[in-house]
Structure 1
Amino acid sequence: MHSVGGFSRGTVAARARKAGGSKVDQAYLALKRAIVSGVLAPETSINKNEWCATFHVSRLSITTAINRLAFEGLVSVEPQRGSYVAKIRLEDVRQWMLMRRALEMEVVAVCATDMSDDAIEALGQNLAYQRAAISSGDLEGFHELDTRFHRQMTESLALARVGEVLDPIRTHLERVRRTLLPEPGRPEGTFREHEAIYRAIGAHAPDQARSEMANHLDRVSRELQAFVTKHPGFFEE
Protein backbone atom coordinates (compact mmCIF):
# COMPACT_ATOMS: atom_id res chain seq x y z
CA MET A 1 0.00 0.00 0.00
CA HIS A 2 1.29 3.40 -0.96
CA SER A 3 2.00 5.74 1.96
CA VAL A 4 3.42 9.23 2.36
CA GLY A 5 4.14 10.53 5.83
CA GLY A 6 1.93 7.81 7.30
CA PHE A 7 -0.95 8.93 5.06
CA SER A 8 -2.06 5.68 3.41
CA ARG A 9 -4.61 4.73 0.79
CA GLY A 10 -6.71 3.16 3.53
CA THR A 11 -6.67 6.41 5.51
CA VAL A 12 -7.84 8.39 2.49
CA ALA A 13 -10.62 5.90 1.85
CA ALA A 14 -11.77 6.04 5.49
CA ARG A 15 -11.95 9.84 5.36
CA ALA A 16 -14.01 9.71 2.17
CA ARG A 17 -16.51 7.30 3.76
CA LYS A 18 -16.79 9.55 6.79
CA ALA A 19 -17.60 12.49 4.51
CA GLY A 20 -20.66 10.60 3.26
CA GLY A 21 -22.28 10.89 -0.14
CA SER A 22 -22.84 8.20 -2.75
CA LYS A 23 -20.36 5.38 -3.29
CA VAL A 24 -19.22 7.06 -6.50
CA ASP A 25 -18.68 10.34 -4.63
CA GLN A 26 -16.74 8.54 -1.91
CA ALA A 27 -14.52 6.78 -4.45
CA TYR A 28 -13.96 10.06 -6.30
CA LEU A 29 -13.00 11.91 -3.11
CA ALA A 30 -10.72 9.11 -1.94
CA LEU A 31 -8.91 8.91 -5.26
CA LYS A 32 -8.61 12.69 -5.44
CA ARG A 33 -7.16 12.89 -1.92
CA ALA A 34 -4.76 10.04 -2.67
CA ILE A 35 -3.48 11.89 -5.75
CA VAL A 36 -3.36 15.34 -4.16
CA SER A 37 -1.63 14.06 -1.01
CA GLY A 38 1.00 12.15 -2.98
CA VAL A 39 -0.15 8.72 -1.81
CA LEU A 40 -0.56 7.99 -5.52
CA ALA A 41 2.47 9.48 -7.27
CA PRO A 42 2.49 10.75 -10.87
CA GLU A 43 2.26 7.93 -13.45
CA THR A 44 1.02 5.43 -10.84
CA SER A 45 -1.41 2.99 -12.41
CA ILE A 46 -4.90 3.11 -10.87
CA ASN A 47 -5.98 -0.45 -10.21
CA LYS A 48 -9.75 -0.45 -10.60
CA ASN A 49 -10.14 -3.85 -8.95
CA GLU A 50 -8.41 -2.62 -5.78
CA TRP A 51 -10.64 0.43 -5.52
CA CYS A 52 -13.74 -1.65 -6.26
CA ALA A 53 -12.83 -3.87 -3.34
CA THR A 54 -12.09 -0.90 -1.08
CA PHE A 55 -15.52 0.69 -1.63
CA HIS A 56 -17.53 -2.43 -2.53
CA VAL A 57 -18.72 -0.87 -5.77
CA SER A 58 -18.82 -1.86 -9.41
CA ARG A 59 -16.13 -1.10 -11.97
CA LEU A 60 -18.60 1.29 -13.59
CA SER A 61 -18.70 3.37 -10.41
CA ILE A 62 -14.89 3.51 -10.22
CA THR A 63 -14.72 4.34 -13.92
CA THR A 64 -17.16 7.21 -13.36
CA ALA A 65 -14.98 8.53 -10.51
CA ILE A 66 -11.85 8.24 -12.67
CA ASN A 67 -13.52 10.09 -15.54
CA ARG A 68 -14.34 12.98 -13.20
CA LEU A 69 -10.69 13.14 -12.16
CA ALA A 70 -9.58 12.99 -15.80
CA PHE A 71 -11.81 16.01 -16.51
CA GLU A 72 -10.00 17.85 -13.68
CA GLY A 73 -6.61 16.94 -15.13
CA LEU A 74 -5.56 14.69 -12.25
CA VAL A 75 -5.80 11.41 -14.17
CA SER A 76 -4.77 10.35 -17.67
CA VAL A 77 -6.90 7.69 -19.39
CA GLU A 78 -5.21 5.89 -22.28
CA PRO A 79 -6.93 3.22 -24.41
CA GLN A 80 -5.31 -0.21 -24.08
CA ARG A 81 -3.05 1.13 -21.32
CA GLY A 82 -5.41 2.03 -18.53
CA SER A 83 -5.68 4.94 -16.11
CA TYR A 84 -2.68 6.67 -14.58
CA VAL A 85 -2.10 9.54 -12.21
CA ALA A 86 -1.30 12.55 -14.39
CA LYS A 87 2.02 14.29 -14.16
CA ILE A 88 2.03 17.80 -12.74
CA ARG A 89 2.10 20.41 -15.52
CA LEU A 90 4.69 23.03 -14.66
CA GLU A 91 3.05 25.77 -16.71
CA ASP A 92 -0.21 25.26 -14.82
CA VAL A 93 1.66 25.43 -11.51
CA ARG A 94 3.37 28.67 -12.50
CA GLN A 95 0.05 30.30 -13.38
CA TRP A 96 -1.70 29.06 -10.22
CA MET A 97 1.17 30.38 -8.10
CA LEU A 98 1.04 33.73 -9.89
CA MET A 99 -2.67 34.04 -9.09
CA ARG A 100 -2.21 32.94 -5.51
CA ARG A 101 0.65 35.39 -4.95
CA ALA A 102 -1.33 38.34 -6.29
CA LEU A 103 -4.41 37.55 -4.21
CA GLU A 104 -2.75 36.60 -0.94
CA MET A 105 -0.49 39.66 -0.93
CA GLU A 106 -3.57 41.87 -1.05
CA VAL A 107 -5.46 39.76 1.49
CA VAL A 108 -2.65 39.96 4.03
CA ALA A 109 -2.42 43.74 3.56
CA VAL A 110 -6.13 44.04 4.36
CA CYS A 111 -5.56 41.81 7.38
CA ALA A 112 -2.82 44.13 8.64
CA THR A 113 -5.28 47.01 8.37
CA ASP A 114 -8.61 45.54 9.46
CA MET A 115 -8.13 42.21 11.26
CA SER A 116 -9.59 42.18 14.78
CA ASP A 117 -7.54 41.50 17.89
CA ASP A 118 -9.41 38.21 18.41
CA ALA A 119 -8.62 37.06 14.87
CA ILE A 120 -4.94 37.99 15.30
CA GLU A 121 -4.88 36.01 18.53
CA ALA A 122 -6.37 33.02 16.68
CA LEU A 123 -3.54 33.25 14.13
CA GLY A 124 -1.05 33.20 16.99
CA GLN A 125 -2.71 30.10 18.42
CA ASN A 126 -2.41 28.40 15.04
CA LEU A 127 1.32 29.20 15.08
CA ALA A 128 1.67 27.60 18.52
CA TYR A 129 0.09 24.43 17.15
CA GLN A 130 2.39 24.56 14.12
CA ARG A 131 5.41 24.69 16.44
CA ALA A 132 4.10 21.68 18.36
CA ALA A 133 3.51 19.71 15.15
CA ILE A 134 7.08 20.36 14.00
CA SER A 135 8.48 19.35 17.39
CA SER A 136 6.59 16.06 17.30
CA GLY A 137 7.41 15.34 13.64
CA ASP A 138 3.74 15.49 12.63
CA LEU A 139 4.03 16.53 8.98
CA GLU A 140 0.38 15.81 8.22
CA GLY A 141 -0.75 17.93 11.16
CA PHE A 142 1.62 20.72 10.18
CA HIS A 143 0.32 20.68 6.62
CA GLU A 144 -3.28 21.04 7.78
CA LEU A 145 -2.34 23.90 10.11
CA ASP A 146 -0.41 25.60 7.30
CA THR A 147 -3.50 25.46 5.07
CA ARG A 148 -5.68 26.68 7.93
CA PHE A 149 -3.32 29.61 8.68
CA HIS A 150 -3.84 31.03 5.21
CA ARG A 151 -7.58 30.33 5.18
CA GLN A 152 -8.08 32.09 8.52
CA MET A 153 -7.10 35.37 6.90
CA THR A 154 -9.97 35.38 4.39
CA GLU A 155 -12.46 33.90 6.84
CA SER A 156 -11.71 36.40 9.62
CA LEU A 157 -12.52 39.28 7.29
CA ALA A 158 -15.56 37.54 5.76
CA LEU A 159 -13.91 37.62 2.32
CA ALA A 160 -16.09 34.77 1.06
CA ARG A 161 -15.76 35.60 -2.64
CA VAL A 162 -11.98 35.84 -2.40
CA GLY A 163 -11.99 32.48 -0.61
CA GLU A 164 -14.05 30.97 -3.42
CA VAL A 165 -11.29 31.94 -5.85
CA LEU A 166 -8.35 30.98 -3.64
CA ASP A 167 -9.60 27.59 -2.47
CA PRO A 168 -9.54 25.91 -5.94
CA ILE A 169 -6.10 27.41 -6.60
CA ARG A 170 -4.83 25.97 -3.32
CA THR A 171 -6.33 22.59 -4.22
CA HIS A 172 -4.47 22.54 -7.53
CA LEU A 173 -1.25 23.48 -5.74
CA GLU A 174 -1.80 20.89 -3.03
CA ARG A 175 0.09 18.18 -4.93
CA VAL A 176 3.13 20.45 -5.20
CA ARG A 177 3.00 21.46 -1.54
CA ARG A 178 2.63 17.85 -0.38
CA THR A 179 5.53 16.86 -2.60
CA LEU A 180 7.80 19.58 -1.20
CA LEU A 181 6.78 19.32 2.46
CA PRO A 182 9.05 16.38 3.41
CA GLU A 183 12.13 18.19 2.07
CA PRO A 184 14.63 18.72 4.92
CA GLY A 185 14.13 22.02 6.73
CA ARG A 186 11.02 23.04 4.83
CA PRO A 187 8.51 22.93 7.72
CA GLU A 188 10.86 24.99 9.91
CA GLY A 189 11.37 27.55 7.14
CA THR A 190 7.64 27.77 6.49
CA PHE A 191 6.98 28.29 10.20
CA ARG A 192 9.49 31.17 10.41
CA GLU A 193 7.83 32.84 7.42
CA HIS A 194 4.39 32.42 9.00
CA GLU A 195 5.74 34.06 12.14
CA ALA A 196 7.00 37.03 10.11
CA ILE A 197 3.59 37.39 8.43
CA TYR A 198 1.87 37.20 11.81
CA ARG A 199 4.14 39.87 13.30
CA ALA A 200 3.48 42.23 10.37
CA ILE A 201 -0.28 41.78 10.76
CA GLY A 202 -0.03 42.32 14.53
CA ALA A 203 1.98 45.49 13.94
CA HIS A 204 -0.69 46.72 11.49
CA ALA A 205 1.97 47.17 8.82
CA PRO A 206 0.34 46.36 5.45
CA ASP A 207 3.43 47.01 3.31
CA GLN A 208 5.53 44.75 5.52
CA ALA A 209 2.80 42.11 5.48
CA ARG A 210 2.78 42.15 1.66
CA SER A 211 6.56 41.79 1.61
CA GLU A 212 6.56 38.87 4.05
CA MET A 213 3.82 37.05 2.12
CA ALA A 214 5.69 37.57 -1.15
CA ASN A 215 8.87 36.16 0.42
CA HIS A 216 6.90 33.18 1.72
CA LEU A 217 5.30 32.28 -1.60
CA ASP A 218 8.40 33.06 -3.68
CA ARG A 219 10.38 30.51 -1.66
CA VAL A 220 7.90 27.85 -2.71
CA SER A 221 8.58 28.74 -6.35
CA ARG A 222 12.33 28.49 -5.85
CA GLU A 223 12.07 25.16 -4.06
CA LEU A 224 9.79 23.84 -6.78
CA GLN A 225 12.40 24.57 -9.44
CA ALA A 226 15.06 22.81 -7.37
CA PHE A 227 12.77 19.81 -6.87
CA VAL A 228 11.98 19.61 -10.60
CA THR A 229 15.68 19.40 -11.35
CA LYS A 230 16.04 16.42 -8.99
CA HIS A 231 12.75 14.68 -9.88
CA PRO A 232 11.90 15.48 -13.51
CA GLY A 233 9.63 12.43 -13.82
CA PHE A 234 7.00 14.07 -11.62
CA PHE A 235 6.36 16.94 -14.02
CA GLU A 236 5.76 17.88 -17.63
CA GLU A 237 6.02 21.20 -19.40
Structure 2
Amino acid sequence: MRPVLNSLHDEAASRLREQIFAGGLPPGSFLDEGALCERLAISRTPLREALKVLVAEGLLRHEPRRGCFVAEITEQDLDDIFPVIALLEGRAAHEATSKARQADIVALEVLHERLQQCAADGQVADYYEVNYAIHEAFITLADNRWLAQVIGDLRKILRLARAQTLHVPGRLQQSLAEHLAVFAALKAHDCDAAEEAMRNHLLRQRDALRDVARNHQSRLTP
Protein backbone atom coordinates (compact mmCIF):
# COMPACT_ATOMS: atom_id res chain seq x y z
CA MET A 1 0.00 0.00 0.00
CA ARG A 2 2.87 2.40 0.69
CA PRO A 3 3.81 2.92 -3.03
CA VAL A 4 0.18 3.90 -3.72
CA LEU A 5 0.29 6.47 -0.92
CA ASN A 6 3.53 7.88 -2.26
CA SER A 7 2.03 8.11 -5.73
CA LEU A 8 -1.06 9.90 -4.40
CA HIS A 9 0.84 12.47 -2.39
CA ASP A 10 3.37 13.06 -5.18
CA GLU A 11 0.54 13.64 -7.65
CA ALA A 12 -1.25 15.94 -5.20
CA ALA A 13 1.94 17.92 -4.58
CA SER A 14 2.46 18.27 -8.34
CA ARG A 15 -1.08 19.52 -8.93
CA LEU A 16 -0.92 22.00 -6.06
CA ARG A 17 2.48 23.22 -7.25
CA GLU A 18 1.06 23.86 -10.72
CA GLN A 19 -1.89 25.79 -9.26
CA ILE A 20 0.46 27.94 -7.19
CA PHE A 21 2.67 28.74 -10.19
CA ALA A 22 -0.37 29.46 -12.38
CA GLY A 23 -1.79 31.88 -9.82
CA GLY A 24 -4.80 29.73 -8.97
CA LEU A 25 -3.57 29.69 -5.38
CA PRO A 26 -2.21 33.22 -4.88
CA PRO A 27 0.41 34.15 -2.27
CA GLY A 28 -1.03 34.38 1.21
CA SER A 29 -4.10 32.25 0.46
CA PHE A 30 -5.25 29.65 2.98
CA LEU A 31 -5.41 26.00 1.91
CA ASP A 32 -8.66 24.44 3.09
CA GLU A 33 -7.83 20.76 3.56
CA GLY A 34 -11.42 19.59 3.24
CA ALA A 35 -11.99 21.47 0.00
CA LEU A 36 -8.66 20.27 -1.39
CA CYS A 37 -9.48 16.65 -0.57
CA GLU A 38 -12.68 16.97 -2.58
CA ARG A 39 -11.00 18.79 -5.47
CA LEU A 40 -8.11 16.32 -5.70
CA ALA A 41 -10.24 13.28 -4.85
CA ILE A 42 -7.87 12.06 -2.14
CA SER A 43 -8.02 11.50 1.62
CA ARG A 44 -6.39 13.73 4.21
CA THR A 45 -3.36 11.47 4.75
CA PRO A 46 -1.80 11.83 1.26
CA LEU A 47 -2.92 15.47 1.14
CA ARG A 48 -1.04 16.26 4.34
CA GLU A 49 2.02 14.46 3.01
CA ALA A 50 1.78 16.61 -0.13
CA LEU A 51 1.50 19.76 1.98
CA LYS A 52 4.63 18.76 3.90
CA VAL A 53 6.51 18.46 0.59
CA LEU A 54 5.47 21.96 -0.47
CA VAL A 55 6.31 23.40 2.95
CA ALA A 56 9.80 21.87 2.66
CA GLU A 57 10.14 23.43 -0.81
CA GLY A 58 9.24 26.84 0.59
CA LEU A 59 6.06 27.20 -1.49
CA LEU A 60 3.81 26.91 1.57
CA ARG A 61 4.18 28.01 5.16
CA HIS A 62 2.62 26.11 8.04
CA GLU A 63 1.21 27.93 11.04
CA PRO A 64 0.44 25.83 14.14
CA ARG A 65 -3.28 25.48 14.85
CA ARG A 66 -4.10 27.45 11.69
CA GLY A 67 -2.88 25.33 8.79
CA CYS A 68 -1.05 25.99 5.53
CA PHE A 69 -0.83 29.18 3.49
CA VAL A 70 0.78 29.87 0.13
CA ALA A 71 4.15 31.52 0.78
CA GLU A 72 4.57 35.22 0.17
CA ILE A 73 7.98 36.13 -1.19
CA THR A 74 9.37 39.34 0.31
CA GLU A 75 11.72 41.96 -1.08
CA GLN A 76 14.35 40.73 1.37
CA ASP A 77 13.87 37.18 0.06
CA LEU A 78 14.50 38.44 -3.47
CA ASP A 79 17.57 40.41 -2.38
CA ASP A 80 18.94 37.28 -0.71
CA ILE A 81 18.10 34.79 -3.46
CA PHE A 82 18.93 36.57 -6.72
CA PRO A 83 22.68 37.09 -6.14
CA VAL A 84 22.96 33.41 -5.24
CA ILE A 85 20.99 32.05 -8.18
CA ALA A 86 22.79 34.46 -10.52
CA LEU A 87 26.09 32.88 -9.50
CA LEU A 88 24.71 29.36 -9.80
CA GLU A 89 23.01 29.82 -13.18
CA GLY A 90 26.06 31.70 -14.41
CA ARG A 91 28.17 28.68 -13.54
CA ALA A 92 25.64 26.41 -15.24
CA ALA A 93 25.96 28.50 -18.41
CA HIS A 94 29.75 28.22 -18.19
CA GLU A 95 29.60 24.43 -17.92
CA ALA A 96 26.89 24.14 -20.58
CA THR A 97 29.01 26.15 -23.01
CA SER A 98 32.00 23.90 -22.42
CA LYS A 99 29.93 20.78 -23.12
CA ALA A 100 27.55 21.92 -25.88
CA ARG A 101 27.74 20.03 -29.16
CA GLN A 102 26.38 21.07 -32.52
CA ALA A 103 23.12 19.18 -31.97
CA ASP A 104 22.64 21.04 -28.68
CA ILE A 105 23.23 24.39 -30.39
CA VAL A 106 20.67 23.53 -33.07
CA ALA A 107 18.09 22.65 -30.40
CA LEU A 108 18.80 25.90 -28.55
CA GLU A 109 18.51 27.82 -31.82
CA VAL A 110 14.94 26.56 -32.19
CA LEU A 111 14.08 27.65 -28.66
CA HIS A 112 15.56 31.11 -29.18
CA GLU A 113 13.66 31.54 -32.44
CA ARG A 114 10.45 30.73 -30.55
CA LEU A 115 11.47 33.20 -27.84
CA GLN A 116 11.95 35.95 -30.42
CA GLN A 117 8.57 35.21 -31.97
CA CYS A 118 6.83 35.35 -28.59
CA ALA A 119 8.49 38.70 -27.87
CA ALA A 120 7.53 40.07 -31.29
CA ASP A 121 3.91 39.01 -30.73
CA GLY A 122 3.84 40.32 -27.16
CA GLN A 123 2.81 36.90 -25.87
CA VAL A 124 4.05 37.21 -22.30
CA ALA A 125 2.75 33.86 -21.00
CA ASP A 126 4.20 31.95 -23.96
CA TYR A 127 7.46 33.91 -23.69
CA TYR A 128 7.74 32.94 -20.04
CA GLU A 129 7.28 29.24 -20.82
CA VAL A 130 9.96 29.28 -23.55
CA ASN A 131 12.23 31.35 -21.31
CA TYR A 132 11.84 28.71 -18.60
CA ALA A 133 12.63 25.94 -21.10
CA ILE A 134 15.82 27.71 -22.15
CA HIS A 135 17.04 28.00 -18.58
CA GLU A 136 16.24 24.31 -18.09
CA ALA A 137 18.17 23.45 -21.27
CA PHE A 138 21.30 25.22 -20.01
CA ILE A 139 21.04 23.46 -16.64
CA THR A 140 20.61 20.09 -18.36
CA LEU A 141 23.58 20.75 -20.65
CA ALA A 142 25.74 21.66 -17.66
CA ASP A 143 25.23 18.05 -16.48
CA ASN A 144 26.03 18.89 -12.88
CA ARG A 145 23.48 17.34 -10.55
CA TRP A 146 24.51 19.48 -7.57
CA LEU A 147 24.01 22.69 -9.50
CA ALA A 148 20.72 21.38 -10.89
CA GLN A 149 19.43 20.46 -7.43
CA VAL A 150 20.17 23.78 -5.76
CA ILE A 151 19.04 25.88 -8.75
CA GLY A 152 15.84 23.85 -8.96
CA ASP A 153 15.01 24.54 -5.31
CA LEU A 154 15.58 28.28 -5.70
CA ARG A 155 13.71 28.51 -9.00
CA LYS A 156 10.58 27.10 -7.38
CA ILE A 157 10.61 29.98 -4.91
CA LEU A 158 11.31 32.59 -7.56
CA ARG A 159 8.43 31.37 -9.72
CA LEU A 160 6.16 32.94 -7.10
CA ALA A 161 7.30 36.34 -8.34
CA ARG A 162 9.41 36.20 -11.49
CA ALA A 163 6.65 36.26 -14.15
CA GLN A 164 5.72 39.76 -12.99
CA THR A 165 8.96 41.15 -14.42
CA LEU A 166 7.90 40.61 -18.03
CA HIS A 167 5.04 43.08 -17.56
CA VAL A 168 7.47 45.91 -16.76
CA PRO A 169 7.52 48.26 -19.79
CA GLY A 170 10.46 47.35 -22.03
CA ARG A 171 11.44 44.30 -19.97
CA LEU A 172 10.35 41.76 -22.58
CA GLN A 173 12.79 43.12 -25.17
CA GLN A 174 15.54 43.53 -22.57
CA SER A 175 15.09 39.93 -21.47
CA LEU A 176 15.24 38.77 -25.08
CA ALA A 177 18.47 40.71 -25.70
CA GLU A 178 20.00 39.20 -22.58
CA HIS A 179 19.09 35.68 -23.66
CA LEU A 180 20.52 36.23 -27.11
CA ALA A 181 23.76 37.46 -25.53
CA VAL A 182 24.07 34.24 -23.52
CA PHE A 183 23.32 32.15 -26.60
CA ALA A 184 25.82 34.08 -28.72
CA ALA A 185 28.52 33.35 -26.13
CA LEU A 186 27.62 29.66 -26.13
CA LYS A 187 27.78 29.48 -29.93
CA ALA A 188 31.20 31.16 -29.76
CA HIS A 189 32.28 28.57 -27.14
CA ASP A 190 33.19 31.45 -24.81
CA CYS A 191 32.51 29.97 -21.38
CA ASP A 192 33.43 33.08 -19.40
CA ALA A 193 31.24 35.35 -21.54
CA ALA A 194 28.30 32.95 -21.22
CA GLU A 195 28.71 32.89 -17.45
CA GLU A 196 28.84 36.67 -17.21
CA ALA A 197 25.87 37.17 -19.56
CA MET A 198 23.70 34.70 -17.64
CA ARG A 199 24.67 36.22 -14.31
CA ASN A 200 23.78 39.69 -15.58
CA HIS A 201 20.48 38.38 -16.94
CA LEU A 202 19.44 37.12 -13.50
CA LEU A 203 20.52 40.30 -11.74
CA ARG A 204 18.55 42.42 -14.19
CA GLN A 205 15.50 40.33 -13.44
CA ARG A 206 15.92 41.38 -9.81
CA ASP A 207 16.05 45.02 -10.91
CA ALA A 208 12.83 44.53 -12.88
CA LEU A 209 11.08 43.03 -9.87
CA ARG A 210 12.24 45.99 -7.80
CA ASP A 211 10.57 48.25 -10.37
CA VAL A 212 7.35 46.21 -10.02
CA ALA A 213 7.44 46.75 -6.25
CA ARG A 214 8.06 50.50 -6.62
CA ASN A 215 5.23 50.90 -9.11
CA HIS A 216 2.86 48.95 -6.89
CA GLN A 217 3.79 51.08 -3.89
CA SER A 218 3.33 54.32 -5.81
CA ARG A 219 -0.20 53.25 -6.77
CA LEU A 220 -1.02 52.56 -3.12
CA THR A 221 0.34 55.91 -1.94
CA PRO A 222 -2.32 58.67 -2.07
TM-score tier (shorter): 0.7 to 0.9
Contact (CA 8 Å) 2:85, 2:151: kept in 1 or not? yes
Farther off after superposition, 155-164 or 186-195: 155-164
Superposition map of 1:88-107 within 5 A: 88-107=73-92
Q: What residue ranges of structure 1 are gaps of 5+ in the alignment?
A: 1-20, 233-237
Distance in 1 between residues matched to 2:39 and 2:201, nearest whole Å: 39
Partner of 1:51: 36
Contact (CA 8 Å) 2:98, 2:189: kept in 1 or not? yes
Partner of 1:192: 177
What percentage of residue pairs aligned between the two structures are identical?
26
Superposition map of 1:1-237 within 5 A: 22-78=7-63, 81-231=66-216
Distance in 2 between residues matched to 1:76 and 1:152, nearest whole Å: 30
- TM-score under structure 1 length normalisation: 0.75
Instruction: Give the count of matched residue pairs.
Output: 213
| Alpha-carbon shift at residue 193 of structure 1 (Å) | 1.1
Cα distance 1:57–1:149, how it changes in 2: closer, same or farther (>3 A)? same
Q: What residue ranges of structure 2 are gaps of 5+ in the alignment?
A: 1-5, 218-222
Q: What secondary structure sits across from 2:117 in the alignment?
A: helix
Contact (CA 8 Å) 1:37, 1:175: kept in 2 or not? no
| Alpha-carbon shift at residue 90 of structure 1 (Å) | 3.6
- TM-score under structure 2 length normalisation: 0.79
Bigger fraction of residues in helix: 2
Q: What secondary structure sits across from 2:61 in the alignment?
A: strand
* Partner amino acid, structure 2, of 1:165: V
Contact (CA 8 Å) 1:27, 1:51: kept in 2 or not? no
* Partner amino acid, structure 1, of 2:59: L
Task: Report Cα offsets for 1:79-114 as digits up to 9, x if no partner.
Answer: 564432121144343333222211222332344444
Task: Report Cα offsets for 1:51-78 as digits up to 9, x if no partner.
Answer: 2222222344434433432343322334
Distance in 1 between residues matched to 2:17 and 2:125, nearest whole Å: 17
